[in-house]
Amino acid sequence: MGCSFSGLNALYDAVNGGGDVWINENRFKVVRQLGEGGFAYVYLVKEVVSDSSSALASGLAKKVKDPSHLSDDRTYAIKKVLIQNNEQLDLVREEIRVSSLFSHPNLLPLLDHSIISVKPTQEGSWNHEAYLLFPVHLDGTLLDNSKAMTARKEFFSASDVLQIFRQLCAGLKHMHNLEPPYAHNDVKPGNVLLSHRKGKCPLAILMDFGSTRPARKQIRSRSEALQLQEWASEHCSAPFRAPELWDCASDADIDERTDIWSLGCTLFAIMYEVSPFEYALGESGGSLQLAIINAQIKWPAGPKQPYPEELHHFVTWMLQPQPALRPRIDDIIYHVDKLVTKFSQ
C-alpha cells in the first residue's frame, strides 16, 4: 500500500486555496468539489506537470496500466476518505484491493491511491485519510440525470434506457464471472456515472466498490443470518436491497443474484427515477421491507405509459423474490440484447 504524502491534511489546505494534493509521486491541483458521501469527499483535480508535455508523458502515465484512462487535459477525480478507526481502515483497504481485480470499460478504474496517517487536531490517537484517484466524468450520476429530466417532465427514450442498462449488465457480468464471483452489493442510479456522447446513448460506468465482496455465502445458522442482515443494512442501500438480505433464512445459499434484484430496481429507476418500492416510504404505515419481501411493485399511474409493456415485464422478471428462481446475468444480457434490437431507433 502506497503511503507517501507531503503534508498533513493537505487536501483541506488545497480546498481552502493553499497547496496541492500529492498521491505518491504525483501532484494534483484541486479545482472544485464534485460530491460527497458518508465519510468521503470527491474533488475535481488537475495533474500538475513540470513541463507542457503530453498526458502520455506525465508522471501518472508511468503508474497507469491502461493509457486510455489518462485524460488529455489532465483532469481526474480524487476521493478523500476520512478514516477514524481500524474497521474503516480495513474497509478502504478492501475497496482498493477489490477495485484492482476489475478491468472493464463499464467499471470505474482506480488509477492510484495513498493512505496517510494524520494527527487529529484534538488530543487522541492518530487517524488516517485515504486518497483514491479515478478518471473524472462530469455529466453526473444516473440519479442526477434522472432527477433533472423528471424536473423537465422528460424521459429517456426506450432505446437509451435499454442501452444504459445493457452497459451496467456488461460491467456486472465482468464481476459475476470472476473466480470466485464478486457481487457489487450497491447497484443503484447514484452509483452510475454518465458521460454524454454526441449522436450516441450516454456511456454508463458503475462505481463505488466499497460494498463489493465475494458473492457466495453459505448461511447455516440464525446468527450467520443475522450477521448478514446487519452487514447488508450498513452496506446495501435499502430501496435497492434484495429480499434475502432483509430476511435471511438460517439455511440459505446467497449468491450474486442479490445484484440482479438491484439491477431490476435500477432498470425501473432509469425509467421512473425511483426504486419500485420507494412509494412505501411515503405511505402512512407503509413498510419498505414488506413491499420488497412481497415484491409489491407500484407502476406509475395513468392511461398512457411512456414505455412498452416488455420493459415492465423485464423488471418484474428480475424482481423474483426467491433468489434460486431469479435469472442470472447471462440470462439478463440475452434478453436485453433482444429488446435493444427491437427498440433501437
* Positions at the binding site for ATP: 63
Q: Is 166 in the site for ligand ATP (CB under 6 A)?
A: no
Asked if 99 is part of the footprint of ligand ATP (rule: CB under 6 A), the reply reads: no
The least CB distance from residue 205 to ligand ATP, in Å, is: 8
CB of residue 334 to ligand ATP, shortest distance in Å:
30
**Residue choice 193, 236, 252, 329 for contact with ligand ATP (CB under 6 A):** 193
Query: Which residues within the stretch 125-164 sit at the binding site for ligand ATP (CB under 6 A)?
Result: 134, 136-137, 141
Q: Which three cell numbers stand for residue 344?
A: 433501437
Q: Which residue is nearest to ligand ATP (CB)?
A: 37
Residue from the set 10, 60, 70, 77 that interacts with ligand ATP by CB under 6 A: 77
210 part of the interface to ligand ATP, by CB under 6 A = yes
What angle, 0 to 180 degrees and rounded to 10, lies between the N-to-C axes of helices 257-272 and 142-151?
30
Q: At what angle do helices 329-343 and 257-272 cross, to 10 degrees?
A: 30
Q: Kindly tell me the sign of the dihedral angle through the C-alpha atoms of 77, 78, 81, 82.
A: negative
Least Å distance between CB 73 and ligand ATP? 14
Residue 18 to residues 12, 29, 118, 231, 239: CA-CA distances in angstroms? 8, 10, 18, 39, 41
Which of 171, 189, 190, 264 touches ligand ATP (CB under 6 A)? 190
38-67 per-residue burial string, b: 16 or more CB within 10 A, e: under 16: eebbbbbbbbebeeeeebeebbbbebbeee
Q: Which is nearer to ligand ATP, 40 or 118 (CB)?
A: 40
| x/- track of binding to ligand ATP for residues 42-71 (CB under 6 A) | x-----------------------------
Query: How many Å apart are CA 10 and CA 15, to the nearest integer?
Result: 9
C-alpha cell at 72: 488529455
Cell numbers describing residue 68? 486510455
Q: Which is nearer to ligand ATP, 69 or 173 (CB)?
A: 69
The DSSP 8-state label assigned to residue 25 in this structure reads T
Site residues, ligand ATP (CB under 6 A)? 34-38, 40, 42, 77, 79, 108, 134, 136-137, 141, 190-191, 193, 207-208, 210
